[in-house]
Amino acid sequence: MTRTDPLDVPRPDAQLHFGVFFQGVNHWTIWSAPDSGSQIDPASFRRVAQTAERGLFDAFFLGEGLRLREVDGKIHELDVAGRPDAITQLAALAAVTRRIGLVSTSNTTFNEPADLARRLSGLDLLSEGRAGWNVVTTDNAWTGANFRRGGYLDHADRYRRAEEFLTVARALWDGWEDGTVAHSAGARTWSTPDAVHQVRHRGAQFDVDLAPTLPRSAQGHPVIFQAGDSGQGRDFAARNADVIFSAHGTDFDDALAFAEDIRTRLRAAGRPDDDLRILPGTEIIIGATEEEAQEKKRWIRLQQVTPATALGIAGLLWGMDLSDRDADGPLPQEDPVVSDNDGSFGARRVADPREVVAEWRAKAEAHGWSLRETVIALGPQRGHVGTPSALADKFAHFVRHGAVDGFNVTPYLIPDGLDDIVDLLVPELQERGLYRTDYTGTTLRDHLGLRAPLTHRSAPDHRQAG
């Protein structure tokens, strides 16, 4: 699938898009380095958002954490944890930024559309059209235990609920006609007669009958993001989303296969195959030389996967407490414990660890790896490493051959983890004509080059003005 002909560039004028994901609960954000800042101090959020805006990023994303991860009834203390309510935090950031988009991850299982649609609409108005909604679903009773009605859904039902949720939300956002509010003190009434429409919906999940309380923003609707990677999740995105996140952003062939699959699903859904922006999550590590970049990567991985973290990850795989072992020693000699009820929530164990343990042992023996080195080498390969020039050339290949539209960057350090990208990589991208030199619009929809919301289109090629 790799394209090798330098003249075979299907999107020669394509430009790269960047978002930044302030992760919250995870062990990949380094907390122990001297220049690591608070994960919950408002100044940290403000610094990251303003740095991203200085770098002309499209959007700032916040995750959602409705319950901390647990293992054997105890809080998983190896995580960095700090996720304020996303809409509250983003509303604060709207006041200290001017152009960058503000995207809330909000769950369709544990919210109701009349309430969430109004809060998202409020963010969209306060930010003058910069809001986005990362639509996530949950089917587990563990998180649902925090909610009075419970939260368990059959796996197949989570997207059915999400789709109905989104249908109701869009109806609420479209409940006010454009030009509803009087713009003259001499007008006879404050709004045009019959311009605010009652929304009535009765479905399998929701029964709604109300008049929306807010007008539309400058971009019409909040931009819809989605991150499901199953076939069902990809189909949901193809029918509904403006942007899809993915884990397919490191290997070019893998990224291109994902992108072509999404484009096929878009056509099947009756949408143009360029109607959805593809932004894989990634980490970007920059050095002045390739050797420096690789050494920096090694330091970062050792900070992310501390001895305690390595033992915690291996303990989940083996199904036993390994906290008293030597992380820099060999892998455990015991066979893993296979159990249907592993006592972990949010911290995932594989269904049958024996095959994975066998692979770890074979590769550790072949390379002479310690347990910690094995966890690092065989764990998620999180992104791109190199000099600014080499990374710019690499990203040009990705975006102009249609493998991605950009990346959602996960900084390994808060709050200064974007500085190298903004100060060193962005100028290289701009020099190649691969990245904007200024914001040319005012809304998140403008930044992403998106068409009008799906419910506003009079023709397949109609685009939002501005």
Please tell me the distance from the alpha carbon of residue 247 to that of residue 466, in angstroms, as a whole number. 32
Q: CA 183, CA 191: separation in Å to the nearest integer? A: 9
Tens-binned pLDDT, residue by residue, of the chain (466 aa): 444 555 578 899 999 999 999 987 788 899 888 889 988 899 999 999 999 999 999 999 998 878 777 777 778 788 877 778 999 999 999 999 999 999 999 999 989 999 999 999 999 999 999 999 999 988 777 677 777 666 667 777 889 999 999 999 999 999 998 888 878 888 888 888 788 999 999 999 999 999 999 999 999 999 999 998 899 999 999 999 999 999 999 999 999 999 999 999 999 999 999 999 999 999 999 999 999 999 999 999 999 999 999 999 999 899 899 999 999 999 999 999 887 655 555 555 566 889 999 999 999 999 999 999 999 999 888 899 999 999 999 999 999 999 999 999 999 999 999 999 999 999 999 999 999 999 999 999 999 999 999 999 864 433 332 2
| 49, 97 contact by CB (below 8 A) | yes
The answer to whether the beta carbons of residues 414 and 29 sit under 8 Å apart is yes
The closest alpha carbon to 139, from 114, 170, 162, 163, belongs to: 162
Considering Cα of 168, then 172, then 175, then 178, what sign does the dihedral take? negative
DSSP 331: P
User: Are the CB atoms for 130 and 444 separated by under 8 Å?
Assistant: yes
Over its C-alpha atoms, the chain yields an Rg (Å, rounded) of 23
Count CB-CB contacts under 10 A for residue 84.
16
| C-alpha neighbours within 13 Å on the C-beta side of residue 22 | 37
Classified as helix, coil or strand, 169 is helix
Q: What is the DSSP string of 28-71?
A: SS--SSTT---SS-HHHHHHHHHHHHHTT-SEEEE---SS--EE
Give the contacts of 365 (CB within 8 A, at least 6 positions apart).
Answer: none
